[in-house]
Amino acid sequence: MDAQRTVRRQISCVGIGLHSGNKVNLTLKPAPADFGIRFRRTDLGHHEVPATVDNLAGIQLATGLASNEVAVETVEHLLAALVSVGVDNVIIELNSPEVPIMDGSAAPFVYLIHEAGVKPLPAARKFLKIVRPIAISRGDKRIALYPSDHFKVTYSISYDHPLLRHQSRTIRITEDSFVDEIAPARTFTFLKDVEMLRQNGLALGGSLDNAIVLGETGVLNNALRFEDEFVRHKILDAIGDLALVGYPVIGHLVAHRAGHALHTEFAAKILDESQSWKLVESPAETLAVPLAAAVKAAAAPRLAN
């Protein structure tokens, strides 16, 4: 049995909101078993917004949530860090609508969680194990989950840009692989889109400190952290958006040219298709286990005779 976990102690950081450009205080606080991941707006009467598909709102360039008109935005990098480091239950306090963008990756959040430490709680973790494929496609954008004994992600992207004609990566997600291979990958944007975003009052906090900016032929930043940092960041976004199902997923996620809108639509579809998964207490648990138990139970009265 895997125990549910929370952060060992309260911890805070300060950053800026990508879109507002405003300073934001973020605090992670321990929470009890079966509490889940909930945002709390300290500037709005501590109103809570649970990180679930039911509260999805305003998917544009990032993933937003809202409950009773109280919003939290740009949640995906923090959610990806929490679920990948194995934090099931936590209170995330914010004094502004946006989760701070930090350096555009999940690495600062991993650092924060590791600094706080993680502790087990006296309750079993439940995993959402895929037993039949679930898929969505919209034109050439696709996303699907297939049965697997582990959580794996295959992502491929292609953009009309010399650096991004095609990138693809498959990775089994464990805490270590996430921390080393995925968390440091930064968000990216195209220079031609930056002006448009600014005119619409978005990305006011955006800079080369928190995003890779792609010019006509290359990147404006000094260096990439990985040669295929772009597709790694898409994997990071998908993990964060998938966290909204409320359980760690055991299955092989395969996505092509998807984005937040498709990721989150897919997260909602997973919960709707309840015949395609089951909740288990161990990732290795298979359908054969309850079947064997059922056979044994059926045989028991005869054996007793």
Residues facing 57 on adjacent strands: 64
The site map against Zn ion for 132-171 (x = CB under 5 A) is: ----------------------------------------
Q: Does 229 bind Zn ion (CB under 5 A)?
A: no
Active-site residue (options: 233, 252, 260, 263): 260
d(CA 260, CA 150): 23
Does residue 98 bind Zn ion (CB under 5 A)?
Answer: no
Token readout for 66 is 């809202």
d(CA 70, CA 269): 24
**Residue closer to Zn ion, measured from CB, 43 or 193:** 193
Q: Strand 141-146 to strand 37-41: parallel, antiparallel, or no bridges (unpaired)?
A: unpaired
**Is 233 considered catalytic here?**
no
Cα–Cα dist 1/284, whole Å: 11
> Please, what is the minimum distance in Å from the beta carbon of residue 191 to Zn ion?
18
Q: Which is nearer to Zn ion, 229 or 237 (CB)?
A: 237
277-280 and 118-124: which strand pairing?
Answer: unpaired
Residues 239-258 that bind Zn ion (CB under 5 A): none
Among 187, 210, 264, 276, binds Zn ion (CB under 5 A): 187
Return the number of the residue (93 or 237) whose C-beta is nearest Zn ion.
237
Q: Judged by CB under 5 A, does residue 237 bind Zn ion?
A: yes
Q: Report how far residue 242's alpha carbon sits from residue 265's, in angstroms, rounded to the nearest whole number.
A: 10
Distances (CA, A) of 63 to 120, 188, 195, 243, 248: 29, 15, 21, 11, 18
Query: Measured from the CB of residue 187, what is the shortest distance to Zn ion in angstroms?
Result: 4
Which of 20-28, 63-71, 174-182, 232-240 is the region at the interface with Zn ion (rule: CB under 5 A)? 232-240
Q: Which stretch binds Zn ion (CB under 5 A): 79-87, 136-144, 162-170, 233-241?
A: 233-241
Q: State how far the Cα of 299 lies from the Cα of 62, in Å rounded to an integer.
A: 54
CB of 72 to Zn ion, least distance (A): 15
> From CA 51, how far away is CA 300, in angstroms rounded?
44
**What is the Cα 214 distance to its own chain's centre?**
24
What's the closest the beta carbon of residue 225 comes to Zn ion, in angstroms?
Answer: 14
Smallest gap, in angstroms, from Cβ of residue 45 to Zn ion?
29
Beta pairing partners, 24: 15
Residues forming contacts to Zn ion in the complex (CB under 5 A) are 187, 237
Which positions are catalytic?
A: 260
